[in-house]
Amino acid sequence: MNERIVILGGGTGGTLLANRLRAGLGDRTRITVIDRDDSHLYQPGLLFVPFGLTAPQRLVRSRSAQLREGIDLRLATVDSVELAAGEVTLQGGGRVGYDVLVIASGASLLPRETEGLTGPGWGTRAFTFYTLDGATGLRDALASWRGGKLVVNLTDLPIKCPVAPLEFCFLADWHLRRRGIRGTTELTFVTSLDGAFTKPVASRELDGLLRAKGVEVVTDFNTGSVDGEAGVLTSYDGREVPFDLLVSVPLHGGAEFVQRSPELADELGFVRVDRHTLRSLAAENVFAIGDATDAPTSKAGSVAHFQADTVAANVGHVLASQPLEGSFDGHANCFVETGYGKGLLIDFNYELEPVTGRFPDPRFGPLPLLRESRLNHLGKRAFEWAYWHLLLPGHRIPGVRSQLQNGGGRMPAITQGATR
pLDDT tens-digit readout, 287-344: 999 999 999 999 999 999 999 999 999 999 999 999 999 999 999 999 999 999 999 9
pLDDT at site 2: 86
Mean pLDDT for 40-60 is 97
Mean pLDDT for 91-117 is 97
When mean pLDDT is compared across 39-43, 258-262, 365-369, 395-399, the lowest value belongs to 395-399
Judgement on whether residues 120 and 244 belong to the same structural domain of the protein: yes
Judgement on whether residues 116 and 234 belong to the same structural domain of the protein: yes
pLDDT at site 112: 97
Judgement on whether residues 266 and 216 belong to the same structural domain of the protein: no
103: containing domain? 3-109+253-319
Asked which of 319, 344, 364 is the last residue of a domain, the reply is 319
Judgement on whether residues 125 and 217 belong to the same structural domain of the protein: yes
Show the 3-state SS of the chain: CCEEEEEECCCHHHHHHHHHHHHHHHHHEEEEEEECCCEEECHHHHHHHHHCCCCHHHHEEECHHHCCCCCEEEECCEEEEECCCCEEEECCCCEEECCEEEECCCCEECHHHCECCCCCCECCCEECCCCHHHHHHHHHHHHCCCCEEEEEEECCCCCECCCHHHHHHHHHHHHHHHCCCHHHEEEEEEECCCCCCCCHHHHHHHHHHHHHCCCEEECCCCEEEEECCCCEEEECCCCEEECCEEEEECCEECCHHHHCCCCCECCCCCECECCCCCEECCCCCEEECHHHECCCCCECHHHHHHHHHHHHHHHHHHHCCCCCCCCCCCCEEEEEEEECCEEEEEEECCCECCCCCEECCCCCCCEECCCCEHHHHHHHHHHHHHHHHHHCCCCCCCCCCCCCCCCCCCCCECCCCCCC
* Cα distance between residue 343 and residue 330, in whole Å: 23
User: Residue 12 belongs to a domain with what CATH number?
Assistant: 3.50.50.60
Judgement on whether residues 89 and 183 belong to the same structural domain of the protein: no
> In the β-sheet with 148-154, what is the strand arrangement from edge to edge?
126-127, 245-249, 148-154, 185-191, 216-218
pLDDT band at 406 (very low <50, low <70, confident <90, very high): low
**In total, how many domains does the chain have?**
2
Judgement on whether residues 247 and 276 belong to the same structural domain of the protein: no
Asked which of 197, 228, 251 is the last residue of a domain, the reply is 251
Please indicate, yes or no, if residue 366 is contained in any of the structural domains. no
Query: pLDDT digits over 113-161, tens only?
Result: 999 999 999 999 999 999 999 999 999 999 999 999 999 999 999 999 9
Judgement on whether residues 156 and 243 belong to the same structural domain of the protein: yes
Query: pLDDT digits over 61-76, tens only?
Result: 999 999 999 999 999 9
Asked which of 251, 283, 310 is the last residue of a domain, the reply is 251
Please indicate, yes or no, if residue 349 is contained in any of the structural domains. no
Judgement on whether residues 223 and 274 belong to the same structural domain of the protein: no
Please indicate, yes or no, if residue 375 is contained in any of the structural domains. no
Please indicate, yes or no, if residue 49 is contained in any of the structural domains. yes
Judgement on whether residues 95 and 225 belong to the same structural domain of the protein: no
Residue 418 has pLDDT above 70, yes or no: no
Judgement on whether residues 144 and 31 belong to the same structural domain of the protein: no
pLDDT band at 246 (very low <50, low <70, confident <90, very high): very high
pLDDT band at 354 (very low <50, low <70, confident <90, very high): confident
pLDDT band at 357 (very low <50, low <70, confident <90, very high): confident
Judgement on whether residues 233 and 126 belong to the same structural domain of the protein: yes
Please indicate, yes or no, if residue 388 is contained in any of the structural domains. no
Please indicate, yes or no, if residue 278 is contained in any of the structural domains. yes
Judgement on whether residues 118 and 245 belong to the same structural domain of the protein: yes
Please indicate, yes or no, if residue 358 is contained in any of the structural domains. no
Mean pLDDT for 239-267 is 97
Please indicate, yes or no, if residue 306 is contained in any of the structural domains. yes
Query: pLDDT digits over 380-402, tens only?
Result: 999 999 999 999 999 988 778 89
Mean pLDDT for 15-29 is 96
Average pLDDT over the chain, rounded to an integer: 93
pLDDT band at 414 (very low <50, low <70, confident <90, very high): very low
